Structure formats: structure tokens, C-alpha cells
Amino acid sequence: MAEGDKFEQRLRGFGWRKVYQLGKSGAEMTNVVDAAVGAVSHGLRKELACARLGGILGILQFSLQADWQQRQSALIDQNEPSPLSCLCVELERIEADELGSITVQLASTVAESVFAEISKRGNYPTREAIRNAFAEELAWRIVDNRCLSHVREGIALGSEHTATQHEQWEKDFRRVLRPQAERLVKQMLKDDGSQAIARAPRRLTPKLKTKEVLHKPLHAVVR
């Protein structure tokens, strides 16, 4: 068995083997990320489906804004629980309700990470900024959990990257992933707290042209 095949066999779920194959072959990063976003969106409709993502994001947004307001106040009641402690309690409740859900576990970790990062900035955290940070971190952790953690070595071997080069490759991956992750989560998690079905951005799901369509008169194709 080829070295690359050994790593590929570790992957489960739609689309992840394609991500691996593109990565190890040195494909353009936009193509690798397109494949990854397609795999993430498919997973969130299937084996990673989770109805609690909107709730986790809402709690995170509320907690960060409460934390900012508390830090602006001269009077802080030391007996009151901190927004971070309240966030952690709510996340633990959700994890208990959704025991065994990989997506809830990842999203809870993401929420705590995003809280720690944004709370250090000092400026007022808008709901959009929080959602974008949550989206980027969640998408990256799903990619790592479902794909990269299993085939990191195989990608480096296939692309003949040194450890330093592969580290830069992952940084580039995350940078290119960011705007697509933001669009994906914006489409899925609505401002009113409702949650839609995860869909890959439109440009990643082109409509295939069959011979029948290609041979139709233009007026019959364009509606």
C-alpha cells in the first residue's frame, strides 16, 4: 500500500479524501479550501448536524457583550458570577443535553476560545464580529478534527514539505478558509437565533451542464 493511501484510509465522511488528495498533490490553496468547505457544509447537514449551534453562538454573543459592559462599569459586584463563568455553565448544560455530539463539543471549545480572544481586545464586540470569529474557529476545528489531524503527515510527505513549510501551508489554509467560513455560518445561523440548513457558498456548487442543456436553444435555458 502506498504511503499516501495509508493516511487516506483514516478519513471518514464525504469530501475529506478529496481535501487530502488535493493537499498532498500541491493543488492551489483555493481548490483545497473549496473542497474543505464543501465537506464541512455536507457534514453539518449529515453526521455533524446540530440544532444547538445557534444557541451556543447566541450565548457567546450575550456573554461577550455583558463582559464588555461590566468592564466599563466602575462598580463591579464581586458576588455576581462573571459572564465567562455563566458562559461555561451554559455550555456544560448544552454538552450534557447533547452527550456524544462532536459538533457540540467542538462548538463549546470554540466559544470559550473566542471569548478569551475577543475579551482581550478592549473594543465593543459587535454581534457580527463575534459570529465571524466563531465561524472561522469552528470551521477550522471541524477541518482539523475530520481531516488534518489524521493526515497531516501524509500531506507533508506527498507535497514534500518540511515541517516549517507545512506549518505555513496550514496558516495559508486558515487564511483562505476565513471568508468562506464566515459566509457559511452567516447563511446557516440567523440573527434571530434560528438555524438554516448548512449550504456551501454558491460558487462552490456549480450547476452541472448536461448535453441536453447545452444543446437547448438559449431562450429555453435562460428563464
Quick check: is 12 in a domain? Answer: yes
Q: How distant is the alpha carbon of residue 122 from its chain centre?
A: 25
Cβ pair 141, 106 in contact under 8 A:
yes
114: nearest Cα among 131, 134, 132, 92 = 134
Quick check: is 216 in a domain? Answer: no
Residue pLDDT, tens place only, 16-62: 999 999 999 999 999 999 999 999 999 999 999 999 999 999 999 99
Quickly tell me which residue has 475577543 as its cell: 118
How many structural domains is the chain composed of? 1
pTM of this structure: 0.83
Quick check: is 217 in a domain? Answer: no
Quick check: is 178 in a domain? Answer: yes
The residues that bridge with 195 in the sheet, in sequence order, are 189
Quick check: is 223 in a domain? Answer: no
Quick check: is 47 in a domain? Answer: yes
| Segments forming the whole domain that contains residue 148 | 3-211
Sequential pLDDT tens for the chain (223 residues): 455 478 999 999 999 999 999 999 999 999 999 999 999 999 999 999 999 999 999 999 999 999 999 888 866 667 778 999 999 999 999 999 999 999 999 999 999 999 999 999 989 999 999 999 999 999 999 999 999 999 999 999 999 999 999 999 999 999 999 999 999 999 998 765 566 555 555 554 444 444 443 344 434 433 4
Query: Taking the CA atoms of the chain, what radius of gyration do you get in angstroms?
Result: 21
The CA distance from 186 to 179, in Å, is 11
Quick check: is 113 in a domain? Answer: yes
Quick check: is 28 in a domain? Answer: yes
